[in-house]
């Protein structure tokens, strides 16, 4: 029977990427000259699992490269090789290379064999061993049975796999086939540990083998076959006798009755996917909570079913039960919704884990000493939000590394420690997640920012603007205060992309800075993009929804507080502030119930640090709504972020606060120009 193992490829690739993260994190945590054995063992186990799985699935190039890494790590954990900076550097480059190999393999693309071969030779040079031929078809250096007249030895091999060996992707049958390649073997299978059929765990190994091998190979070469499963089996190899008798012809390896999985051809047209979006791992607690909620719904449905029947026989006595059932149904549905949303929630550590390596590499490139501290890594947010916030965080961190933290010499001259600190923190606040990137560097030079803004005609030379507005200038397209262009920053790209990406996620970013004290970027994001708490607004015959978190206040309009600018733009005096008024019925071309401002309401909304007042007919209520993309189903519309279906089946548009503010500014500009 043949088993199509390609169905397990994606799971293997995901486990590989997780193992590579563990390896990279461990290498970054190694202490020079005095390494923690537990850390080295964790790194070794990561390489060990990747090598074994790669060999099982027939990815020989990956397995061959990892085998060299594993040998080097084995010497480190055995204390035969000291941990040095150069050794950590080459292993980190090897992790990067391995990541590229696995990514290419997962997408069905060719591996860059030239770079892999070059790095493998570097590893072999460090090992001081004979280079391994990476083009060989197996992960183990090829050996051949002895010829007539060679010194032939008979070996007894007692091989007892641990029960969980197959769970790690290692197949004992493949090992037995390798044994057959190097000599004549007799195999006795021990089935005494196989339980009754009803107690069999299909992922456990209950068999063991006693092999009698006649070969010219040394004991070291035999043990090498079992190298990647040495921690997952009990192995005893003993010499029985010596002989010079020529070996009989080898048997066909098919003589071992087992599923043929190694020779299963790989299917063409591999589905391209990435580790980031292919799947999600969910804790058993979340699954249990979801199952419990479904059980509650079934009970509620059963209770409601008892009230079903002929409506003519429906008496008042059943009305209270119906009300109770509907209340219970509403509560269960809400809790089920929350449980489903929690399944998509992942710790933000999935995004944070990439940064220690980046800080290490860039600090070396910039000749700076930087310590990165992270907190709140277990703070959860929606998987989609996490995937889209990764690049903005990289840009902000690189900005702190390049512009924020000074060189050791400059820091010492300012009376600071020569090692700078960057803090990455995440926490929940209300219905949002807050991410802070802080550094104790030079801070922003406001005079330099203003001078650059005047030079680029972004502001006038006599304009008096607040600190908040000054810091907002760094997010303008093409704006940069860097004196020189480097590989890290200074080209005027990145910060505007950061702000745009964060706004697309429904979030915002604030900056606080103090000269020679440091800078803090504060990002606020919704926990999920699928559901929002909204306020329903009535405009003419239409109903719109505005995110609840964007509403500052709602008020009845007083005529004495209405003002106009040049007889055109309308503003409302709210305490000591003047709020521009945006008439929604004019924006969307709706016939208004009334045009007299005093007959309606003003909803003050805030986004991107600015406020406007939406003139509406009435407030209808608040509710959670499921967001449907308007762009993917129709086309993008300024001022609209999506749509939803209300309880009565009608479609309601969800307002984009930042888009409406931009629209208001454009209206004012066109009116002033006229």
Q: Where are the domains of the chain?
A: 5-127, 152-254, 287-343, 347-526, 531-673
Check residues 262 and 232 and name the one with the higher pLDDT: 232
> Residue 599 has what pLDDT?
87
pTM to 2 decimals?
0.60
Q: How far is CA 498 from the centre of its chain?
A: 18
Asked: is 531-673 a CATH 2.40.50.180 domain? The reply is yes
Q: For 512-527, what is the mean pLDDT?
A: 88
State which H helix or E strand residue 471 sits in: helix 467-472
Alpha-carbon gap, residue 638 to 476, rounded angstroms: 20
> Residue 256 has what pLDDT?
34
Alpha-carbon gap, residue 24 to 93, rounded angstroms: 10
CATH number of 347-526: 3.30.565.10
Share of the chain above pLDDT 70, in %: 83
State the Cα angle at 602 between 596 and 607, rounded to 5°: 140
> Residue 483 has what pLDDT?
57
Q: Where are the beta strands (DSSP E) in 377-502?
A: 380-382, 419-429, 432-439
48 is catalytic: yes
Condensed to tens digits (0 to 9), the pLDDT of residues 184-193 reads 888 888 888 8
Given pLDDT bands bounded at 50, 70 and 90, which one contains residue 506? confident
Report the CATH superfamily, name and number, of domain 5-127.
HPT domain (1.20.120.160)
Q: Which of these is catalytic: 61, 70, 180, 217?
A: 70
> Residue 488 has what pLDDT?
56
70 is catalytic: yes
Q: Which of these is catalytic: 170, 399, 432, 508?
A: 399
Check residues 270 and 209 and name the one with the higher pLDDT: 209
Asked: is 152-254 a CATH 3.30.70.1340 domain? The reply is yes
Given pLDDT bands bounded at 50, 70 and 90, which one contains residue 132? very low
Residue 526 has phi, psi (to 5 degrees) of -70, 150
> Residue 259 has what pLDDT?
35
C-alpha pair distances (Å), 318 with each of 99, 312, 315: 64, 12, 6
Q: Which of these is catalytic: 9, 48, 67, 395?
A: 48
Condensed to tens digits (0 to 9), the pLDDT of residues 56-83 reads 778 888 888 888 888 888 888 877 888 8
C-alpha closest to that of 359 among 396, 410, 316, 312: 396
Q: For 46-60, what is the mean pLDDT?
A: 82
399 is catalytic: yes
Most confident of 229-238, 416-425, 631-640: 416-425
Condensed to tens digits (0 to 9), the pLDDT of residues 98-110 reads 989 998 888 888 8
Q: For 541-546, what is the mean pLDDT?
A: 91
For residue 568, pLDDT over 70 is answered with no
């Amino acid at each position: 029977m043949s088993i199509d193992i390609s169905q397990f490829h994606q799971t293997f690739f995901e486990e590989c990427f997780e193992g590579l993260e563990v390896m990279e994190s461990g290498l970054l945590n190694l202490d020079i000259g005095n390494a923690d054995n537990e850390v080295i063992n964790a790194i070794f186990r990561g390489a060990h699992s990747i090598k074994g799985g790669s060999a099982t699935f027939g990815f020989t190039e990956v397995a061959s490269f990892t085998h060299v890494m594993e040998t080097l790590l084995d010497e480190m954990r055995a204390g035969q090789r000291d941990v040095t900076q150069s050794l950590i550097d080459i292993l980190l480059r090897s992790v990067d290379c391995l990541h590229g190999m696995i990514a290419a393999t997962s997408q069905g693309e060719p591996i860059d064999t030239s770079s892999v071969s070059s790095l493998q030779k570097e590893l072999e040079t460090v090992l001081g061993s004979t280079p391994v031929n990476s083009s060989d078809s197996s992960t183990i250096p090829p050996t051949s049975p002895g010829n007539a007249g060679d010194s032939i030895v008979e070996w007894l091999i007692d091989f007892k796999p641990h029960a969980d060996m197959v769970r790690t992707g290692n197949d004992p049958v493949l090992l037995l086939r390798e044994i057959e390649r190097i000599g004549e073997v007799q195999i006795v299978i021990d089935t005494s540990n196989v339980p009754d059929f009803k107690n069999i765990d299909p992922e456990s190994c209950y068999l063991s083998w006693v092999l009698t091998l006649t070969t010219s190979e040394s004991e070291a070469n035999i043990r090498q076959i079992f190298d990647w499963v040495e921690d997952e089996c009990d192995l005893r190899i003993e010499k029985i006798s010596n002989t010079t008798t020529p070996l009989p012809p080898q048997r066909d390896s098919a003589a071992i009755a087992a599923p043929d999985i190694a020779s299963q051809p790989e299917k063409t047209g591999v589905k391209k996917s990435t580790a980031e979006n292919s799947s999600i791992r969910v804790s058993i607690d979340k699954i249990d909570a979801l199952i419990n909620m479904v059980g509650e719904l079934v009970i509620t449905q059963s209770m409601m079913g008892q009230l079903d029947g002929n409506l003519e026989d429906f008496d008042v006595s059943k009305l209270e039960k119906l009300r109770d059932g509907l209340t219970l149904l509403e509560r269960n549905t809400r809790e089920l919704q929350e449980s489903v949303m929690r399944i998509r929630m992942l710790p933000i550590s999935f995004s944070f884990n990439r940064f220690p390596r980046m800080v290490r590499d860039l600090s070396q490139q910039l000749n700076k000493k930087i310590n990165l501290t992270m907190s709140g890594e277990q703070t959860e947010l929606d998987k989609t939000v996490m995937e889209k916030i990764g690049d903005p965080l990289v840009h902000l961190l690189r900005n702190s590394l390049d512009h924020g933290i000074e060189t050791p010499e400059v820091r010492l001259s300012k009376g600071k420690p020569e090692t700078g600190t960057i803090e990455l923190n995440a926490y929940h606040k209300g219905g949002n997640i807050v991410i802070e990137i802080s550094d104790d560097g030079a801070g922003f030079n406001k005079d330099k920012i203003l001078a650059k803004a005047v030079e680029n005609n972004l502001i006038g030379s006599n304009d008096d603007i607040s600190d908040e507005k000054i810091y907002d200038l760094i997010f303008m397209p093409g704006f940069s205060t860097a004196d020189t262009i480097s590989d890290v920053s200074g080209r005027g790209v990145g910060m505007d992309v950061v702000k745009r990406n964060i706004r697309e996620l429904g979030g915002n970013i604030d900056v606080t800075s103090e000269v020679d004290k440091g800078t803090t970027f504060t990002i606020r994001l919704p926990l999920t993009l699928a559901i929002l708490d909204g306020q329903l607004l009535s405009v003419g015959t239409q109903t719109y929804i505005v995110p609840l978190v964007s509403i500052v206040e709602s008020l009845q309009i007083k005529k004495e507080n209405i003002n106009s600018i040049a007889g055109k733009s309308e503003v409302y005096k709210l305490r000591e502030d003047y709020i521009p008024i945006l008439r929604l019925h004019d924006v969307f071309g709706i016939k208004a119930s009334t045009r007299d401002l005093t007959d309606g309401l003003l909803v003050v909304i805030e986004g991107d640090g600015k406020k406007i007042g939406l003139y509406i007919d009435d407030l209808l209520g608040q509710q959670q709504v499921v967001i449907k993309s308007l762009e993917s189903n129709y086309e993008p519309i300024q001022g609209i972020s999506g749509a939803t279906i209300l309880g009565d089946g009608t479609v309601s548009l969800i307002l984009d606060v930042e888009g409406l503010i931009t629209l208001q500014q454009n209206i004012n500009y066109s009116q002033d120009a006229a």
